[in-house]
Amino acid sequence: MSDQYDADMVAQYDRGFTEIPLRRYVELPSVYQILGDVTGLCVLDLACGTGYYAKELRRRGAARVVGADLSEAMIRATRAQEEKAPLGVEYVHADAGALEHLGDFNVVTGIHLLHYASSLEHLNGMCQSISRHLKPAGRFIGYQLNYDVARKPHYYDKYGFNLRISEQARDGQPFIFSVTLGDYTSPDITAYYWSKQSLESALHDAGLTGLRWVAPAPSPEGIEKQGADFWADVMRSPFELIVIGTKS
Ligand SMILES: C[S@@+](CC[C@H](N)C(=O)[O-])C[C@H]1O[C@@H](n2cnc3c(N)ncnc32)[C@H](O)[C@@H]1O
């Protein structure tokens, strides 16, 4: 699996990906709500990127936070930030599909992770990494494309995402997307189509039970700032979903 996130992307990502309204007012508050109180918990954040969630969860009182990411540039940038403003987050440069044992965690997050699995073997490897790192009754929280609606071309342009997934996409097929932030548009990024059913099977086979999908919703602040009309499409057909499972 190649590392698509180079230094330029990292700078742009850090500069403002979080400012995209969909992320700021829908993704972040929805994920925090599902996570609940993390005080004293051990959290492994897979595909941590520049450590946005890892840092925030540590600030919110998590006892141990480890972030792992495939991109050397992402890990280098986030380690440099940790050196400048230490929060005590540990960062590991690794493929989530082939992870050495990093400890036992109450929560594993995979925010925009599973669609980078480039084969069924890779997907199973990611799900096994998730399961192996969870204590019994520990929770996995993933943030995923909702492929039922994401295949509709241009559906999400207004939210800053340009996805090119064929209507006939099958499991393991690559697709291209880019993200627009103001006058910056990211280079094309390759990800892979996995049906909800395949994701559920891989998570279930790895030892996660009680799998459920939850639609993220705009926060009251987001509705106030952007207006209810702006969010009507995402409310009607959520483009991304949160998947939750428990280690049995
Ligand atoms: C869109 S970013 C999300 C970063 C972070 N989760 C966030 O929400 O801010 C996706 C990240 O997944 C990472 N990634 C892609 N494939 C991966 C893999 N096989 N193992 C670990 N990280 C991976 C990329 O390097 C990138 O940092």
When the candidates are 3.10.20.600, 3.40.50.720, 3.40.50.150, 3.40.50.970, the CATH number that belongs to 7-135+146-247 is 3.40.50.150
Q: What whole-number distance in Å separates Cα of residue 206 and Cα of residue 154?
A: 34
What are the contacts of 35-38 at 24+ separation with CB within 8 A? Answer: 35/107, 35/109, 35/141, 37/61, 38/62, 38/107
Percent residues over pLDDT 90 in the chain? 69
**pLDDT category of residue 2 using cuts at 50, 70 and 90:** low
In angstroms, the CA 62 to CA 180 distance is 32
Q: What pLDDT sits at residue 7?
A: 64
Q: Whose CA is nearest to atom 4 of ligand 1?
A: 49
Report which ligand 1 atom has the smallest distance to the Cα of 18.
Answer: 9
Q: For residue 57, give the amino acid letter.
A: L
Residue 70 Cβ contacting ligand 1 at under 6 Å? yes
Distance CA 53, CA 216 (A): 16
Rg (CA), the chain: 17
Q: What is the DSSP letter of 114?
A: G
Identify each DSSP E strand in the chain by its residue range. Answer: 42-46, 64-69, 90-93, 105-111, 134-145, 161-164, 174-181, 184-185, 189-192, 208-214, 240-247
How far is the centre of ligand 1, averaged over its atoms, from the C-alpha of 69 (Å)? 6
| Residues near 227 by beta carbon (within 8 Å), at least 6 away in sequence | none
Average pLDDT over residues 240-244: 96
Q: How far apart are CA 193 and CA 225, in angstroms?
A: 33
**pLDDT given at position 31:** 97
CB 74 near ligand 1, within 6 Å: yes
Count of residues making up the chain: 248
The response to whether residue 47 sits with its C-beta less than 6 Å from ligand 1 reads yes
- For 23, 103, 238, 241, the CA distances from 149, given in Å and listed in that order, are 18, 37, 7, 11
Residue 154: the pLDDT is: 66
Task: Report how far ligand 1's centroid is from the alpha carbon of 229 (Å).
Answer: 31
Whole-number Å distance between alpha carbons of 7 and 51: 15
47: alpha, beta or left? (left if phi > 0; alpha if psi -120 to 50): left
| Ligand 1 in reach of 111 Cβ (< 6 A) | yes
Is 69 touching ligand 1 by the criterion CB < 6 Å?
yes
Q: What is the pLDDT of residues 205-230, one digit of tens each?
A: 999 999 999 999 999 999 999 999 99
Q: How confident is the model at residue 5 (pLDDT cuts 50, 70, 90)?
A: low
CA 182/CA 235 separation, integer angstroms: 23
Establish whether residue 112 lines the binding site of ligand 1, counting it when its CB lies within 6 angstroms of any ligand atom: yes
Q: What is the pLDDT of residue 140?
A: 98
Q: Where are the domains of the chain?
A: 7-135+146-247
Task: Please report the atom of ligand 1 found closest to the CA of residue 95.
Answer: 20
pLDDT in tens, 159-181: 888 877 877 889 999 988 888 77
Is residue 1 scored above 70 in pLDDT? no
The per-residue pLDDT for 179 is 81
Does ligand 1 have an atom closer than 6 angstroms to the CB of 92?
Answer: no
How far away, in angstroms, is 228 Cα from ligand 1 center? 30
* Residue 5 CB less than 6 A away from ligand 1: yes
Cβ(27) to ligand 1 under 6 A?
no
CA 115 to chain CA centroid, Å, is: 9
From 48, 107, 181, mutation site for ligand 1 pocket: most ligand atoms within 8 A of C-beta:
48
State whether residue 109 is helix, strand or coil.
strand
Considering only residues 132 and 184, tell me which one the structure prediction assigns the higher pLDDT. Answer: 132
Mean pLDDT, the chain, rounded, equals 91
pLDDT tens figures, 76-132: 999 999 999 999 999 999 999 999 999 999 999 999 999 999 999 999 999 999 999
